[in-house]
Copies of this chain bind each other. A is one copy, B any other.
Amino acid sequence: MIIVVKRDCDQKQLDNLLKWIKNQGLGVTLSQGDSSVVLGLIGDTPKVDIDLIRSMEIVESVKRIQEPYKSANRKFHPEDTVIDVCGHKFGGDNFQIIAGPCSVESERQVIEIAKAVKKAGANLLRGGAFKPRTSPYAFQGLKGTGLELLQKAKEETGMPIVTEIMSASHIDLFEKVDVLQIGARNMQNFELLKAVGKLKKPILLKRGLANTIEEWLMSAEYIMAEGNKQVILCERGIRTFEPLTRNTLDLSAIPLLKELTHLPIIVDPSHASGLSRLVKPLSLASVGAGADGLMIEVHNDPKNALCDGAQSLRPEQFEEVVKGIDVMLPIVNKKRV
């Protein structure tokens, strides 16, 4: 960590700062320049509170050299983490496709879709039981019943289940769920992160809608710091000024994260754009960018034309996406088993 001290700083304040640094168990080097004094901190700097230092009167600016995350940091764990979900592997040279309905609506619906996506080549089943909604008046999901219906679909198809948890107080209900998803709006719900960090299940951590890559890795760190190292990151688009898509999918994040962390990273192209007709090109783009998997919404309502064209694909459209992905995987040295 490097601290630039103002050129007109008070010597007593500087002495106080140096003393405080040493009290933190850190070493310090000091370089006197024309217009400023530069301090270099040596030791366990990820634990240092950078905001506190930045706020000091004599400090002009601070810069981390080491990343503030440790367990998630590739520097300290060079090999890819590979997470096994009932035999389906995330990370390394593996590629996984998670598919299913936005919301679980009925036993028949979820089982039909589960069978359809399995036939089309999906590896895991997704489906929302607890639904975070902007409006208190909107449908909030079937909750516990939804989880039971997902369980039935798993029994029918053998596909592991991925579904969202919104509160630590619901954890008992998720006992049979294979992968717990933390949604974008809860990415910095630190109490929830700590709670799922105590579990022995893989956690799918979505990026918050206006969170930086570093903040995202710090949220992964919250989970890992409690002992749970099975974190799968999921890029789902960030908030920008562009109104034509719901979010802007940040695919540069994929190769960047591959450098910064050893954790697997997948992409959700359905929520990112909010437009089903963008799912195929953005899925192929995600494979090209180096993602370890995709999570895609599929619905099965051919009779009711109402929802057609949603962010959800029809099963036959999904099948076409899977085919395109499978042709591309060898180019990026990935495989699906």
Q: Which residues of A contact B (CB under 8 A)?
A: 2, 4, 10, 12-13, 16-17, 20, 29, 31, 33-36, 38, 40, 42, 46-47, 49, 51-52, 54-61, 63, 65-66, 68, 75, 132-139, 166-169, 185-186, 188-191, 194, 209-210, 212-215, 218, 221-222, 225, 238-245, 248-256, 259, 272-278, 281-290, 304-312, 324, 327-328, 331-332
Return 17 A-B CB contacts under 8 Å, by A number: A2-B38, A17-B306, A34-B42, A38-B40, A46-B137, A49-B135, A49-B138, A55-B312, A56-B309, A63-B63, A134-B188, A240-B241, A240-B248, A245-B252, A251-B251, A259-B277, A282-B289
CB atoms of B244 and A241 under 8 A apart: no
- Copies of the chain in the assembly: 4
Q: Report the bound CA distance from A287 to B138 in whole Å.
A: 36
A13 CB contact (under 8 Å) in B51, B240, B305? B305
CB atoms of A248 and B250 under 8 A apart: yes
Q: Report the bound CA distance from A137 to B224 in whole Å.
A: 12
A331 CB contact (under 8 Å) in B56, B284, B306? B284
Report B-chain residues with C-beta under 8 Å of the C-beta of A194.
136
User: Among the interface residues A52, A136, A213, A306, which one has the most CB atoms of the partner chain B within 10 A?
Assistant: A136
A47 CB contact (under 8 Å) in B68, B137, B218, B286? B137
Report B-chain residues with C-beta under 8 Å of the C-beta of A309.
55-59
Nearest residue (CB) in B for A59 is B309
Q: Report the bound CA distance from A252 to B249 in whole Å.
A: 7
Known: A33-B65, A243-B212. A218 touches B252 (CB 8 A): no
Report B-chain residues with C-beta under 8 Å of the C-beta of A254.
281
Report B-chain residues with C-beta under 8 Å of the C-beta of A190.
132-133, 136, 166, 185
Q: Report the bound CA distance from A20 to B304 in whole Å.
A: 10
Known: A38-B40, A56-B310, A189-B189. A252 touches B278 (CB 8 A): yes
Report B-chain residues with C-beta under 8 Å of the C-beta of A304.
16
Report B-chain residues with C-beta under 8 Å of the C-beta of A307.
52, 55-56
CB atoms of A136 and B65 under 8 A apart: no
Q: What distance in Å separates the Cβ of A113 from its nearest Cβ neighbour in chain B?
A: 16
Report B-chain residues with C-beta under 8 Å of the C-beta of A311.
55
CB atoms of B210 and A308 under 8 A apart: no
CB atoms of A63 and B66 under 8 A apart: no
